[in-house]
Amino acid sequence: MTDQESHLENVSKSAAAIRAACGGGPVPRVAIVLGSGLGGLADKVEAATVVPYRDLPGFPVPTVAGHAGTLLVGRLGGSPVLVLNGRKHFYETNDPYPLRTMIRGVRAAGVEVLFLSNAAGSLRPHIGVSELMLITDHVNFLGLNPLTGPNDDAFGPRFFSMTGAWDPALSERLRAVARAEAITLHEGVYVAFRGPSFETPAEIRMAQGWGGDAVGMSSVPECLIARHCGMRVVGVSCITNMGAGLSDENLTHAHTIENASRGAAAFERLVTAAVPVLADGSG
């Protein structure tokens, strides 16, 4: 079997397992990818059926603290939701297939909207630690694209537009939810670095010059794969630190997890209120 054939088989087996986890009922319209330190939301999912990634053929098995590696199906804010708790970053692997399988598996099961979340460093003084930022666009500085190699025509076209990739209409719904919940929601451009090192102060100045507002090591590959297969994407960064050189703090992963959990209360409130609004199929 070629890589492509085994990928197709993994996607369809995983999609079947996800449909089975939905107990024969409808598959949620919205899936949420939980970022570093934001996994607490998984505990808020009601009537959850939990499937470990290892039971989903071809899914990534995370290696980083703060990433569980479980898929949940249940309800949030009264609406059906699918939660992907944990993912693999490109600093853990050069293999794009597990991430492709994860995103395309949920797509093939019937999910239409992907809500991406991440921990990120701020590039702007007005975007503070533990605050939230709506992602309106991104810069892919990973040095790779998860869709390189032969195109999988079964999922999407070779070439596709990334204009409006972070869905403007769904983002507008998120802004309205944040206003109604009195949650500060900044907005801006997310610049993805490969990691695993944090950036140098010179790289942070470069990212600022590129029009970036936050930096991180994830979410861009997920967005690319999801847009390729026709999903709508929205996303929020939880700011865990100022970018390197913008404050005196020393950047560590423990610090990321700690500050993400400080921002997690607002994140959880926003997402819980947003799920029913994003699940509405009109517009």
Tokens of 64: 């980083």
Q: Is 256 in the site for ligand HPA (CB under 6 A)?
A: yes
What is the smallest separation between the CB atom of 238 and ligand HPA, expressed in angstroms? 9
Q: Which is nearer to ligand HPA, 85 or 240 (CB)?
A: 240
Q: Which of these segments, 94-102, 157-165, 212-220, 225-233, binds ligand HPA (CB under 6 A)?
A: 212-220
Residues 115-174 that bind ligand HPA (CB under 6 A): 119-121
**Which of residues 97, 166, 198, 267 is near ligand HPA by CB under 6 A?**
198
Residues 49-108 that bind ligand HPA (CB under 6 A): none
Q: Is 199 in the site for ligand HPA (CB under 6 A)?
A: yes
- One-letter amino acid of 111: V
Neighbours of 179 (CB within 10 A): 10
Residue with tokens 């898929």: 71
Q: Distance (Å, rounded) from C-alpha 114 to C-alpha 210?
A: 26
Q: Distance (Å, rounded) from C-alpha 238 to C-alpha 262?
A: 9
Q: Distance (Å, rounded) from C-alpha 35 to C-alpha 133?
A: 13
Q: Distance (Å, rounded) from C-alpha 258 to C-alpha 129?
A: 11
Q: Which is nearer to ligand HPA, 117 or 256 (CB)?
A: 256
What is the smallest separation between the CB atom of 85 and ligand HPA, expressed in angstroms? 18
Task: Please work out the total of residues on this chain that contact ligand HPA, with binding judged by CB under 6 A.
Answer: 14
Residues β-bridged to residue 214: 122, 190
Residues β-bridged to residue 52: 70
Q: Which of these segments, 53-61, 169-177, 214-222, 225-233, binds ligand HPA (CB under 6 A)?
A: 214-222
Q: What is the 3-state secondary structure (H, E, C) of 203-227?
A: HHHHHHHCCCCEEECCCHHHHHHHH
Q: Which of these segments, 178-186, 227-235, 240-248, 267-275, binds ligand HPA (CB under 6 A)?
A: 240-248
Residues 22-51 that bind ligand HPA (CB under 6 A): none
Q: Distance (Å, rounded) from C-alpha 198 to C-alpha 204?
A: 10
Q: Which is nearer to ligand HPA, 187 or 203 (CB)?
A: 203
Q: Which of these segments, 103-111, 166-174, 209-217, 261-269, binds ligand HPA (CB under 6 A)?
A: 209-217
**Which of residues 96, 216, 221, 263 is near ligand HPA by CB under 6 A?**
216
CA triplet 267, 118, 63: central angle to 5 degrees? Answer: 120
Q: Which is nearer to ligand HPA, 70 or 219 (CB)?
A: 219
Q: How many helices (H) and strands (E) does the chain have?
A: 6, 9
Q: Distance (Å, rounded) from C-alpha 142 to C-alpha 221?
A: 9
In the complex, the residues that contact ligand HPA under the rule CB under 6 A are: 119-121, 193, 198-199, 215-217, 240-241, 243, 251, 256
